[in-house]
Amino acid sequence: MIDRKDMLELTRRMTPTRTCFKRIAGAYMDRDGEIDNTFNVNFLNLSGSDKTTHLAIAKTVPFSKTNEQLKEHRFPKAALKPGTFRHLLTVILECGLKNDVLLETLYEEAGSCYKAAADYAIAVYNGTYDIPIKSSMGEYQYESEEVYDFLICTFSPVTGDYEIGKPDYGFLFPAFSYRSADPGAIDIFNRDPDHPQDKLTQLILGAGTISGAHASPDI
């Protein structure tokens, strides 16, 4: 079960003046899951309006209804091996979104499973949260006890001239549990829990080797 307080704590670092994001990458996809265009930039280099837009998009995942729209899923033991989608996420996180080959593998694999009625965008955000120590009285201290490095990935409809809308699906990796990173789990968001993206979720949690795993020696 996800603790709502953990998610709210994380979202407090998702503001224009206190942003926790370092980099953003993504792809514009057609409805059939083919890549139309990609982007990869330092988050701080975005214009003020673009920062506000992307902060709202990324924040949708942790700020959603916990344990309803946003649910924690544990990876099966077999999914922890090299070549799986989880391993792909791990190496993308380790390189800080600076390996476009790995990112394109993510877009292609996810695009082959995501059900879309129209063109959409996949956005990947790399954030870092210096978790402060919390006293027994619930007060935050200045000292840090852990640095939480994470990815938020969103799938959103696209309108007009590459205008990204509110996400319909997304995830937070690794899961943020008990104010700490849990690399054995992932928090997955479905805007409409009654119509989840089951095929994509199965890919993310799956133990099989992804078809793009040969694309880089790092996976």
How much is the pLDDT for 197?
97
Please indicate whether residue 119 or residue 210 has the higher confidence score (pLDDT): 119
User: Does residue 217 lie within any of the structural domains?
Assistant: no
Q: What is the pLDDT of residues 95-128, one digit of tens each?
A: 999 999 999 999 999 999 999 999 999 999 999 9
How much is the pLDDT for 137?
58
Please indicate whether residue 141 or residue 213 has the higher confidence score (pLDDT): 141
pLDDT at 35 over 60: yes
Q: Which residues of 101-122 are buried (b: 16+ CB within 10 A; e: fewer)?
A: ebbbbbbbbbbbbbebeeebbb
User: Does residue 41 lie within any of the structural domains?
Assistant: yes
Site of tokens 């020696």 = 217
pLDDT at 215 over 70: no
**What's the mean per-residue pLDDT of the chain?**
92
Per DSSP, 139 falls in state: P
* CA 35 to chain CA centroid, nearest Å: 18
User: Does residue 118 lie within any of the structural domains?
Assistant: yes
Q: How confident is the model at residue 160 (pLDDT cuts 50, 70, 90)?
A: confident
Q: Collapsing DSSP states into helix, strand and coil, what is residue 8?
A: helix
Mean pLDDT on 164-177: 97
Domain carrying residue 47: 4-210
User: Does residue 86 lie within any of the structural domains?
Assistant: yes
Token pair listed for 74: 């544990």
Q: Collapsing DSSP states into helix, strand and coil, what is residue 187?
A: strand
Mean pLDDT on 22-28: 98
User: Does residue 219 lie within any of the structural domains?
Assistant: no
pLDDT at 216 over 60: no
AA letter at 206: G
How much is the pLDDT for 177?
93
Number of domains in the chain: 1
Dist. CA 129–CA 14, nearest whole Å: 10
User: Does residue 215 lie within any of the structural domains?
Assistant: no
User: Does residue 218 lie within any of the structural domains?
Assistant: no
Dist. CA 100–CA 8, nearest whole Å: 31
Token pair listed for 113: 């499973």
AA letter at 4: R
User: Does residue 170 lie within any of the structural domains?
Assistant: yes
**Do residues 156 and 167 make contact, with C-beta atoms less than 8 angstroms apart?**
yes
Mean pLDDT on 176-180: 93
